[in-house]
Structure 1
Amino acid sequence: MNPTADIETVLGTAASSTRRRLRIAVLLGILLAAAGGFAWYLLSASNQKAVLQYKTEVVQRGDLIIKVTATGDLQPINQVEVGTEVSGTIRSVEVDNNDRIQAGQVLARLDTERLEAQVRQSRAALEMARARLLEAQASVLETRNEARRIRELRKKNLVSDTDVDAVEARLKRAQAAEASARAQIEEASAQLSVNETNLSKAVIRSPIDGLVLERAVEPGQTVAASLQTPVLFRLAENLTQMELHVAVDEADVGNVAEGQAATFAVDAYPGRSFPAHITKVRYAPQTVEGVVSYETLLVVDNSDLALRPGMTATAEITVQSLTEVLLIPNAALRFTPPTAEVEQRRGGGLVGALLPRRPSSAADKRRREDDDSARQKYVWTLRAGEPVRVGISVGASDGRMSEVRAGELQAGTVLIVDTVAKSR
C-alpha cells in the first residue's frame, strides 16, 4: 500500500463532503429567506388592508365651466402714428402727452421759410410759362395771316410754290411753339401745386379725435423725411374701448372661437376682474422659442379709463359651459388603492416582486398613456368599508372636476380620493 495515495484519498473525500454541506446550507438559507419574505408579504398586506383609512368626496351634480388661459397686453382699437412728409426744423409743438385732441387740430408747425420760397419760385415760373404762351399765340396768329396772304398771291401767280411751302412750315413751327408753351404752363402749375402741398404739410394736424399717447418731438428739432417718415406723435382714437391681444396656445386654439366671453386681470388692480369677448382669432402662427401660439383679439369696455395701453393681462376664456351634469373630482381619477398598486407592480405575487422587470422605455410610456386615454377610466368607491373599482366614461374637465358621461355612478356616491393615515 502506498501511504501517499491513502492520504490524498482521505483528503479528497473530506473536501467533497465539505462542499456538499456548504451547498445544502446555502440552499436552506435561500429557502428560509423566501419563506420569511412571503410571510412578511402576507402579514403586511393583511395589516395594510385592516388599518388603511381613506379620504373621500361625494359625486355631485352641478355646472362645469371650461376655460382657456392666455396672456397678452392691452392696446387701443385705433392707434395712429403721425409723422411729417417734409423735412425741416420744428418751429412749435402745440400739444403734449395725454392731451385730448380733435380731428384737424394743429399738433406742430415746421419752419416754412424754405417752403414759402419754393412756392414763390413756382408761381414765378408759372407766370413765365403763361407769358411764353402769349408770345407763341401771337406768333401763330402772325404766321397764319402771312400764310393767308401768300396763298392769295399764289393764286395770282405772284409768288412761287417755294414761298407757299416756306410760310406753311413757319406756321407749323409757331403752332408747335404754342403747344410747348401750354405744356410748360401745365408743368409749372403742377410744380406750384406740389410746393403748396409741401407748405401745407408744414402744419401737422391730427387725423382723428382722441388722445395724445406719446409726443416724440421738441421745438428746434430737425426732422428728415428723405428716407422714411419720422414719427412725431402717437395718438389713440378712443380709450373707452380697447383691445386685448393674447397668445392662445396651439393646443387650445381649436376650442377658441369668436363671440366667446372672457375675463381678465391686470397687476394694477389686484382682485378686480374685467369682462371681454373675442372678436377675432388670427390664422397666422406666432413661434417663440419653439412654442406656437395664435394671436386672439378681445374687445374690452374701458368706460372708467382704468385700463391703459400696454398693460399686461391674463385672460380666462370660457370655451365650454355645462349645466347640471354629474361631476367627480379629478383626484378620484388619479387614485389607486396601495394594495392594488403593489399587485400591479409585483405582477400578482411574491414571485413577481422578486423577479427583475424590464425597464420601461419612452415608447412604452407613450403607448400606455394612449391606451389609458382610449380605455374607460376607473374610480374607487367604498362598499362595506372596502374599496371597489367602478368603470366610467369621462367628458370635459376644468382641471379640478370632470364630467361623467357614462358609468355606474350617481349623485351622492362616495369616491376615494386619497389615503389619509395608517395606524398600528
Structure 2
Amino acid sequence: MKRQTRIYIFLGLFILAGSIIFFSCRKNNSQDKTQETRLVKVKLGNVTETVDATGDVVPLNRVEIKPPVSGRMEKILVDEGNRVKAGQIIAWMSSTERAAIIDSATAQGPEERKRWEESYKPAPILSPISGLVILDNVVPGQTVDAGTVLFALSDQLIVLAQVDEVDISRVQLGMKALITLDAYPAQKITGKVLAILYEGKNTSNVITYGVKIVPENVPPFFRSQMTANISLVVNQKESVLLIPIQAVQVRPNGDKYVLLSKGEGKPAPTDIQTGVENGTQVEIVSGLNAGDEIVIQHVRYRPQTANTATSPLMMGPRGGSSSRGGGGH
C-alpha cells in the first residue's frame, strides 16, 4: 500500500513540474519578440547613389626602357619619382667592347683612360616619352644585356577599378568618381571614368570589368600598385525629400508605401514613389510632404535565458558547484 502511495506522489510531482515548465515556456515564447515603433519626419536633404568597387593605382601607359646592346652602366642621371621629357638623356652606358677598352686603358694610367674616354664615347639612354620614372632598376657599374629592364616610365598614374558585372551597365564614360587609398584614408580624390574595358576578369567565378579612372589632380603621394576604394557616382540630387529606407514597405504587387502618422489615430498606409537611394536613405518623388511624420516599425527579438523554468524536482543548482557544503559533516 505504501509503495503504491509513493508512486502516486511521484506521478503527481512529475505532472506538476511538467505543467510549470509548459506554461513558463509559453510565457517566454510570447515575449521572444516585441514590436517597437518610432516617428520620423520627412526632411529635405542631399542623396548620392553610387556603385562601389576596389582597384589599384596603375600607369595609364607603362614604358620599359632596355639597353640597345649588352654592356655596362656608367652613369644614372635620374631617380624614381623624377619627371622626364621625351628625348632626355637619363643614363649613359658602355658597350661590352668599350667597357673592355676603358678597363684596359685604366690599367695603363689616368692619361690613357682619359684619351680613350674622349675618343670612344659612351652611348646615351634616352627617355622615349614624357612622364614619371616609376622604376630605376640599375646602378652604375652594373653589367646589363639587351633584355635587362633599366627603367620604367609612366605618362600618368590612374586608378583601375574592378566593377562587378551586375553593376557595369550603370557605369558611363565621364562619370564622376571618388577615390580613397588604403594608405591615405583621410584623403579624398576626385576623378572621372576614362574607359570601360571590354574583356572581363574571372576571379573565383565572379566576373568583373576594369574601369579606368583619371584623377583630376594626381596627388604627390600616388604610387603604382596602391590599393584604392572607388565610389562611382551614378546619381546625385540636392534638396529632395528623404526618409530612412527601412520605412518603405512593399505590397505583393510591388507598390511601395509608408505608414503615415495621423496623430493619436492609427497610422494610414500611404502610397509613395521613390527615386535615388543610397542604402540608408531614399528620395520621395511623390506621396509625402516635408514635415510629414511616418511610422517605422522595428521587431526586436529577445534572447531566451538559459533557465526559463525551474522544476520542483531540481533539488540543487544546475551549475558546476555542488549543493553540499565544502567541509562539514
Compute the RMSD of aligned alpha carbons: 3.8
CA gap of 1:385–1:90, structure 2 versus 1, over 3 A, is same
**Cα distance between partner residues in 1 of 2:258 and 2:174:** 37
Q: Who is 2:163 aligned against?
A: 248
- 8 Å CA contact retained: 2:182, 2:229: no
**Cα distance between partner residues in 1 of 2:90 and 2:299:** 74
Aligned length: 256
2:134 pairs with 1:213: yes
Q: Who is 1:339 aligned against?
A: none
Q: After the TM superposition, which parts of structure 1 deviate over 6 Å for at least 4 consecutive aligned residues?
A: 114-117
Give percent identity, aligned residues only.
32
CA gap of 1:324–1:209, structure 2 versus 1, over 3 A, is closer
Q: Residues 107-141 of structure 1: CA distance to partner in whole angstroms, max 9, x if unpaired?
A: 23033527999xxxxxxxxxxxxxxxxxxxxxxxx
Q: Residues 354-412 of structure 1: CA distance to partner in whole angstroms, max 9, x if unpaired?
A: xxxxxxxxxxxxxxxxx95x6112322333343433333333311111233444x3322
CA gap of 1:416–1:202, structure 2 versus 1, over 3 A, is same
Q: Residues 38-78 of structure 1: CA distance to partner in whole angstroms, max 9, x if unpaired?
A: xx99xx89xx9xx9752121123443321111211223434
Q: Which amino acid aligns with 2:269?
A: R
CA gap of 1:65–1:86, structure 2 versus 1, over 3 A, is same
2:111 pairs with 1:111: no
2:290 pairs with 1:411: yes
Deviation, structure 1 residue 261: 1.4
Q: Residues 321-345 of structure 1: CA distance to partner in whole angstroms, max 9, x if unpaired?
A: 234443321111269xxxxxxxxxx
The one of 222, 227, 240 aligned to 1:307 = 222
Q: Who is 2:270 aligned against?
A: 390
CA gap of 1:90–1:233, structure 2 versus 1, over 3 A, is same
- 8 Å CA contact retained: 1:112, 1:202: no
- 8 Å CA contact retained: 1:330, 1:402: yes
**Cα distance between partner residues in 2 of 1:282 and 1:327:** 36
Structure 1 gap ranges (5+):
1-32, 118-198, 336-370
2:115 pairs with 1:236: no
Q: Who is 2:7 aligned against?
A: none
Q: Who is 1:128 aligned against?
A: none
**Cα distance between partner residues in 1 of 2:53 and 2:160:** 10
**Cα distance between partner residues in 2 of 1:419 and 1:106:** 67
Which protein is richer in strand relative to its size?
2
**Cα distance between partner residues in 1 of 2:164 and 2:35:** 43
Q: Which amino acid aligns with 2:281?
A: M
- 8 Å CA contact retained: 1:261, 1:276: yes
**Cα distance between partner residues in 2 of 1:52 and 1:310:** 50
| Matching of residues 140-289 of structure 1 within 5 Å | 202-225=123-146, 229-237=147-155, 242-289=157-204
Q: Which has the larger radius of gyration?
A: 1
Q: Who is 2:281 aligned against?
A: 401
Question: TM-score of the superposition, structure 2-length normalised?
Answer: 0.65
Structure 2 gap ranges (5+):
1-18, 102-119, 301-329
Q: Residues 298-355 of structure 1: CA distance to partner in whole angstroms, max 9, x if unpaired?
A: 11134652323322221212111234443321111269xxxxxxxxxxxxxxxxxxxx
- 8 Å CA contact retained: 1:56, 1:418: no
The one of 303, 322, 343 aligned to 2:237 = 322
CA gap of 1:52–1:251, structure 2 versus 1, over 3 A, is closer
Task: Report the 3-state secondary structure (helix = DSSP H, G, I; strand = E; otherwise coil) of the residue aligned with 2:129.
Answer: coil
**Cα distance between partner residues in 1 of 2:260 and 2:282:** 16
CA gap of 1:300–1:385, structure 2 versus 1, over 3 A, is same
- 8 Å CA contact retained: 2:81, 2:132: yes
Question: TM-score of the superposition, structure 1-length normalised?
Answer: 0.51
- 8 Å CA contact retained: 2:39, 2:293: yes
Q: Who is 1:375 aligned against?
A: 254
**Cα distance between partner residues in 1 of 2:61 and 2:35:** 64
Task: Report the 3-state secondary structure (helix = DSSP H, G, I; strand = E; otherwise coil) of the residue aligned with 2:246.
Answer: helix
- 8 Å CA contact retained: 1:54, 1:417: yes
